[in-house]
Amino acid sequence: MFLKKVETLEKLLNLRKKDIVTAVGSNGKTTFCLNLCKELKLKKKTVFLTTTVKILPINKKYGFVDITIPNIENEDEEKEREVFSEMEITSFLLNLEKNLNNSNNVYVLGIYDSKIGKITSLSPELLENISEKCDYMIIEGDGSKMKPLKGWKKTEPVYTKNTTKSVGILPINIIGNKINDVNIHRMEEFLEISKSQKNETLTLNHLYNLIVHKNGLFQYALGERILILNCAERNKDKENALNLAKMLKSNINFRDTRIGVTSLKNREYYEIEENNIMKEENHNSKISAIIMASGKSKRMGTNKLLLEYRGITFIENTLEKVLNENFYELAIVISDKKVRKKCQDYIKKSEKDEKKIYIVGNKKSEKGQSESIKIGLKTLEKCEGYMFFSCDQPFLTSNTIKKILQNFKTKGITIPEYNGKRSLPVIFGENFKDELLKLEGDTGGKTVISNHQDKIKIVEIENPDEGKDIDTKEDYEMLKKGEQDVYSRNNNKQ
């Protein structure tokens, strides 16, 4: 492994339009949020900067637009006021719309509590509703009392349900320091998670435990997990960061976690590159992808591929994740002209090699999913495996796709299982191609799977919501209203 310098946080994060980024951890969260917002402001993007916990007011020198709601004093001084009148919310939204019409900028959102001198969180529902109005939302979702490290209670960190990137930040320069009350917030929790003892010297093993433990840095993380090892100003810090990254990459649950090494205060950013041997181990399979996008959406009553979620259509949501992987070829099987146009426009913007991407029509879509499977297979060259995607799993993450790919064995069938329920995307080895080409009706590849139980590799996916299909109007309404139960803890306050 080695460090490769990148110019911006945007590139380090592989930021995409409509991303909702939640920063958690310690020692650098606020600087991270401010640096990222400044970058996006220079690119004339509309950015919402907010919190799900409590943060200090943003210095006016940044030129951000303050649209915080003042917290009127309570009669009960012991309680924070969490419910605002309809008039106050309407006033806030009108003020937001007015400012958005003026220019692209960074908008600081939240509730200003004059008693504590901090900005506190808007309601989760309001944050989700206004997220469509910005290009990016940057959220500080954790607190550490200004200490380098912390342990986590069961109510933290705090995420919005539509978070797309969970960024965990830890200081790598803390290695060699003492585990004491000066350095640690929530000592009892920290000792349990890091498997350490008070007054011990901090080691890489302690940080490793803090990251991988189920109640650690990425507790409740949503979307893509990204680790940032901050405060890497010295060569020794960079060396420790590389050694820690090697330890993490040997853990199957963190093999695909993006890792950055930074000095946020100096705006120096590095991504960790794997050497050629390691890359070959992870990407030596020549696998092609087939997106089955020619269904009739009978239960929805309208073409669900053109419905929007987080500012993009279902078909674009799927394309974004598939194009993010290094597939050998891609076939998109469609039956609708508008879907074709959406695909063409998105692929053109993605700047991917269009020579290996095929949009093919399905004139027999009424015959069921088997037609999409057969058309996709006939379109693509011979390869080691074919990964089949539907377009109605909006919660599916890139991490899960990578995990399925990594578990694929040549001449096998790899199936993700979400809380005991099997679903897509599934990979079939090339040796099953002839059998798949004989399929009929709307059963998909289930017949082939049932005939080859001994060839199946099940991949357990931690978040069951990733396997949820959006098939009906009721499903879609729940999705839009944010009523899906995705690790819902947002009403808990730190």
DSSP assignment of 230-272 equals: E---SHHHHHHHHHHHHHHHTSTTTTT-EEEEEEGGGTEEEEE
Residues 432/448, Cβ–Cβ less than 8 Å: yes
CA distance 356 to 348: 13
484 token code pair = 């899906």
Residue-level pLDDT at 40: 95
Residue 106 CA: distances (Å) to CA of 9, 40, 122: 16, 8, 17
> Residue 136 is inside which H or E element, if any?
strand 136-140
Concatenate the DSSP letters of all residues of 363-393 into one string: TTGGG-HHHHHHHHHHHSPP-SEEEEE-S--
pLDDT along the chain (494 residues), means of 10: 93 91 96 96 93 94 89 52 58 75 82 91 86 92 95 94 94 97 97 96 96 95 94 95 92 87 96 60 72 88 89 92 91 96 90 86 90 95 95 92 91 94 96 94 88 93 91 87 45 38
Cα 247 from chain centre: 22
CA distance 239 to 391: 42
Concatenate the DSSP letters of all residues of 163-225 into one string: --EEEEEEEGGGTTSB-STTTEESHHHHHHHHT--TTPBP-HHHHHHHHHSTTSTTTT--SEE
- Helix/strand/coil percent split, the chain, to 5: 35, 25, 40
The helix/strand/coil state of 462 is coil
The structure's pTM equals: 0.61
Write the burial class of residue 484 (CB in 10 Å: 0-12 exposed, 13-18 middle, 19+ buried).
Answer: middle
CA distance 486 to 327: 29
Question: Which conformational region is residue 416 in: left (phi greater than 0), alpha (psi within -120 to 50 degrees), or beta?
Answer: beta
Residues 375/333, Cβ–Cβ less than 8 Å: yes
Cβ within 8 Å of residue 135, ≥6 positions away: 17, 18, 40, 45, 46, 47, 104
Query: In which residue are the tokens 């100096």 written?
Result: 266
Residues 287, 293, 299, 302: is their CA dihedral positive or negative?
Answer: positive
CA dihedral 372, 373, 374, 378 (to 10 degrees): 100
Parallel, antiparallel, or unpaired for β 118-120 and 54-55?
A: antiparallel
Residues 457/414, Cβ–Cβ less than 8 Å: yes
